[in-house]
Amino acid sequence: MPQLRCFTGFFFEPVCAIITGMNSTYEQLKKELFDPAFAKTSFIKRDINIYASALPSYGVSGDHIKEISKKYAADPSLDLTSFALDEAVELTVCYFIIGLLRAKDFPTKMAFLSANLPFVDSWGVTDSCPQFIKKPEAKVFIPYFKTFIASPHPFVRRFAYVFAMGYYRDENISAFISGVKNSPEYYVYMAEAWMLATFAITHFEEVYAYIEKEDISLELLRKTVSKCCDSFRIAPEQKERLKTLRSARVLVSKG
Both 98 and 157 in one domain: the answer is: no
Mean pLDDT along residues 111-133: 96
Rounded Cα distance, 92 and 90, in Å:
5
- Residue 84: the pLDDT is 87
Domain endpoint, select from 93, 113, 134: 134
Coil, strand or helix: which one is 246? helix
Both 47 and 146 in one domain: the answer is: no
Mean pLDDT along residues 111-138: 97
**Pick from 89, 88, 96, 44: nearest CA to 70:** 96
Cβ–Cβ under 8 Å, residues 142 and 110: no
- Average pLDDT of the residues of the chain: 88
Both 104 and 142 in one domain: the answer is: no
Mean pLDDT along residues 4-33: 56
Both 124 and 152 in one domain: the answer is: no
pLDDT tens-digit readout, 64-74: 999 999 999 99
Cβ–Cβ under 8 Å, residues 158 and 191: yes
Both 181 and 97 in one domain: the answer is: no
Mean pLDDT along residues 112-141: 97
Both 115 and 219 in one domain: the answer is: no
Q: Is residue 22 scored above 80 in pLDDT?
A: no
Rounded Cα distance, 70 and 61, in Å:
14
Which domain does 197 fall in, by range?
A: 136-255
Both 24 and 58 in one domain: the answer is: yes
Both 23 and 113 in one domain: the answer is: yes
Both 175 and 125 in one domain: the answer is: no
Both 26 and 64 in one domain: the answer is: yes
Residue 191 identity: A
Both 154 and 118 in one domain: the answer is: no
Lowest-confidence region among 6-20, 94-108, 172-186: 6-20
Rg of the chain on CA atoms, in Å: 20
- Residue 41: the pLDDT is 63
Dihedral in degrees, nearest 10, Cα atoms 15, 121, 158, 42: -110
Is this model's pTM higher than 0.85 or not? Answer: yes
The dihedral region occupied by 231, where left means phi > 0, alpha psi between -120 and 50, and beta the remainder, is beta
Total count of domains within the chain: 2
Mean pLDDT along residues 13-28: 55
Domain endpoint, select from 75, 105, 134: 134
Domain endpoint, select from 134, 164, 197: 134
Lowest-confidence region among 25-34, 50-59, 110-119, 159-168: 50-59
Both 56 and 113 in one domain: the answer is: yes
pLDDT tens-digit readout, 131-180: 999 999 999 999 999 999 999 999 999 999 999 999 999 999 999 999 99
Rounded Cα distance, 138 and 248, in Å:
35
